[in-house]
Amino acid sequence: MNIRLLIATFLILLTGISHAQEEGVQFEAKVSKDKLGVNERLRIEFTMNKDGDNFTPPNFNGFRVVMGPNQSISNSWVNGKRSFSKSYSYILTPNSKGTFTINQATVEIAGNVYKTQPVRIEVTEAVNDPNAPPSADDIADDNLHLVAEVSNANPYLNEAVSVVYKLYVSPRINVSNFLPKANPKYNNFWSQDIKVTRYQVENGTYQGKQYRYVVLKRVVLYPQKTGSLELEPLALDVTVDVPTNRRDIFGGRLFTQTNKTVTAGKRTINVKPLPEQGKPAGFTGAVGQFDFDVVLSKTDLKANESLTAKVKVSGNGNLKLFNLPKLTLPSSLEVYEPEFEENISTSISGMKGSITDNYTIVPQYRGKYPIPTVAFSYFDPEEEEYKTITSQQALVNVYEGPSSASEVASNADTNTSAKQPVAVTGNQFRFIKLTTDLFPKESSAFFGSTLFYLLLLLPLLFIPIAIFIGKRRAAMASDVIGNRVRKANKLAKKYLSEAKKNLGDKDAFYESLERALHNYLKAKLKIVTSEFSKEKISELLLSKNVEPQVVEDFITLLKNCELARYSPSTMAEMERDYNKAAEVISLIDKQLK
């Protein structure tokens, strides 16, 4: 009896101890501060007093993880009691101002799942504490600058403006990597990127201090609208190595790494309209410094021979953005539609080269034909005035041929009416052979021959072939899914053919791949994708019942095309992106409704 009572008491105590242990589990989230500036960092630590597994952190919406997770475990015995602590810590930096909530983290302890309480964080304006030692972020902010250098902030309409994006880095810090976060879109501008083939470090000054800098991007703009036009900023995510006050065993300074987002900031360009006073009647929008002439390939020729008249404009300016003056010729000269020819190169200073209209002229009659003068007008932004160049008058001499259409007709009549008698001599017209040596040919009957039966049975042999082909076509027509797959694959090959040709050339490949993706959406959805952001494209595809994973893959490909401009890519990566693009286009084409 006493034994039974002892066992029951032991079980009750054991259950109570186990329950007390479960009730004694603590799992909580601790933050270094619940209010901080947008330029400060936040440390958050998830601590448990029992060893657990399957720790799952929250998603940290509104923050970027700079470091972590860092795990630490502590075991200690005090006065015979064991103390255990296990923690996971993160260093966060806020993305913007506002009030954010860090959601619950979870962990599994002794078969039970425990959660932390949500933590509310308020992010305010950037703070400046003069008494606190500068943090790695503060040092990076003071020694890292992204600048957009604009050649002319007050241009005329259609005058060239160059923009050069430079990343200035102080000798105090090092930049180990950078990736673009936002590429500017030049709305209301005609734009041309000048490729930066290699990043070259140069020395220069910024705000009176010595810096190293790298040119990241060059672009030439021609404003197409007057007024205040904004340039969207270029933004980069930069990994920076910042020196600390600590040194290694050899006395070398130790560095800490941080990530910074730098932006060139918005730039405003005030575009002036071209003056109305003194504007020539034949002005077509040419802005720059130009030469003009009309050149004839020859001035002396026969009737029905051809000559070429070249209307040519050369110089510096918006050569692709205006029309050449028309050449007006006498009606008696036959003139063909001009053939346009351009030889233009675009550098950081703008367009340079020439454009030409080649007229083919064929005179019909003998005579002297004047080629009238042609006037070309343009606006010179340096001298701020309109200028007009007039070509020299030329004279075309047709020295052989009919003098008029009536002379051509009279010559034709004369040739037909003035008949000369023909004298018959000898056997001149005895062209028929009167004596022959013909003999009868032996003929065999066609009916019943081998050829007869072959031609008779041959149509019958085509009947089963025709039936087989008809059934195969009907089967293919009824295979809706198969037809859609074949059509999608054919469409993918069509749009990606140019990208495939450029495999191995990183810049050309990703440029043609991005163009293929946009052209595909333009053709299928009847939209201009250049006016849409990636978010808008994603929403549009989802509204067309395209699977979310396929949409995400499509957007990822667009991002890869942008990132490839600033980071190296291997042949394997290009082949992988090409195959992925073909697969994604096929899937979208099958799923679009």
Predicted local distance difference test score (pLDDT) of residue 213: 95
* The pLDDT of residue 75 is above 90: no
Ranges 8-12, 68-72, 214-218, most confident: 214-218
Residues 294 and 380 in one domain: yes
What integer pLDDT is reported at residue 510 of this predicted model?
A: 82
pLDDT of residue 494: 67
Q: Quote the pLDDT of residue 5.
A: 54
- What DSSP designation does 530 have? G
* Whether residue 220 sits in one domain with residue 298: no
* 144/117 same-domain check: no
- Tokens encoding 144: 């890292």
Q: How far is CA 236 from CA 32, 165, 174, 181, in A?
A: 28, 11, 15, 5
Position 54 pLDDT exceeds 60: yes
Residue 521 lies in a domain: yes
Q: Which of 242, 271, 300 is the last residue of a domain?
A: 271
317, 323, 325, 330: CA torsion to nearest 10: 150
C-beta atoms surrounding 469 within 10 Å: 11
pLDDT surpassing 60 at residue 429: no
Q: Which two tokens stand for residue 62?
A: 């509104």
**pLDDT over 70 for what percent of the chain?**
81
Of 64-73, 104-113, 269-278, 478-487, least confident by mean pLDDT is: 478-487
Higher pLDDT, 18 or 137: 137
Residue 413 placed within a domain: no
**Residues 161, 264 within the same domain:** yes
Residue 439 lies in a domain: no
For residues 225 and 267, state if they share a domain: yes
147 and 247 both lie in a single domain: yes
Residue 377 predicted with pLDDT over 80: yes
Q: Could you tell me the residue range of the domain that residue 215 belongs to?
A: 136-271
Q: From CA 303, how far away is CA 305, in angstroms rounded? A: 5
Which of the four pLDDT bands, split at 50, 70 and 90, describes residue 17?
Answer: very low
* Gap between the Cα atoms of 560 and 581, Å rounded: 11
- Which CATH number goes with the domain that contains 366? 2.60.40.740
> Per-residue pLDDT tens for 400-412?
888 765 554 444 4
- Return d(Cα 393, Cα 390) in angstroms, integer: 9
Residues 292 and 247 grouped into a single domain: no
Cβ pair 287, 378 in contact under 8 A: yes
Structure letter (DSSP) for residue 118 = P
Q: What average pLDDT is seen over the chain?
A: 81
Final residue before a domain boundary, out of 271, 301, 324? 271
Structure tokens at 20: 């007390």
pLDDT at position 490 is 61
Whole-number pLDDT of residue 555:
86
Q: Is residue 463 part of a domain?
A: no
> Nearest to residue 354, comparing CAs of 285, 282, 291?
291
229 φ, ψ (degrees, to nearest 5): -115, 130
Residues 171 and 267 both lie in one domain: yes
Shared-domain flag, residues 368 and 266: no
Could you tell me how far CA 61 lies from the centroid of its own chain? 30
Same domain, 296 and 332: yes
pLDDT at 287: 96
Residue 9 DSSP code? H
**Does residue 2 surpass a pLDDT of 60?**
no
Predicted confidence at residue 72, as pLDDT, reads 81
- Is 259 inside any structural domain? yes
Residue 113's identity, in one-letter code, is V
The more confidently predicted of residues 423 and 592 is: 592
Task: Report yes or no on 349 lying in a domain.
Answer: yes
Number of domains in the chain: 4
**3-class secondary-structure state, position 206:** strand
**DSSP state, 529?**
G
Residue 317 dihedral angles phi and psi, to the nearest 5°: 155, -165
Q: What is the pLDDT of residues 18-29, one digit of tens each?
A: 443 445 788 888
37 in a structural domain? yes
State phi, psi for 108 to the nearest 5 degrees. Answer: -105, 120
First to last CA, the chain: 81
Please identify, among 102, 124, 146, the residue that sits at the C-terminal boundary of a domain.
Answer: 124
528 compared with 138, residue with greater pLDDT: 138
Same domain, 187 and 141: yes
| Same structural domain, 182 and 249 | yes
Question: Which residue type occupies 138?
Answer: D
State yes or no: pLDDT of 70 exceeds 70. Answer: yes
Q: Is the peptide bond before 69 cis (omega within 30 degrees of 0)?
A: yes
Domain assignment of residue 524, yes or no: yes
How far apart (Å, rounded) are the C-alpha atoms in residues 251 and 162? 47
pTM for this one? 0.49
Over 410-451, what HEC string results?
Answer: HHHHHHHHCCCCCCCCCCCCCCCCCCCCCCCCCCCCCCCCHH
In the three-class reduction of DSSP (H, G, I as helix; E, B as strand; rest coil), residue 134 is classed as: coil
Name the more confident of 91 and 521: 91
pLDDT (tens digit per residue) in 146-177: 999 999 999 999 999 999 999 999 988 888 88
Whether the pLDDT of residue 15 is over 70: the answer is: no
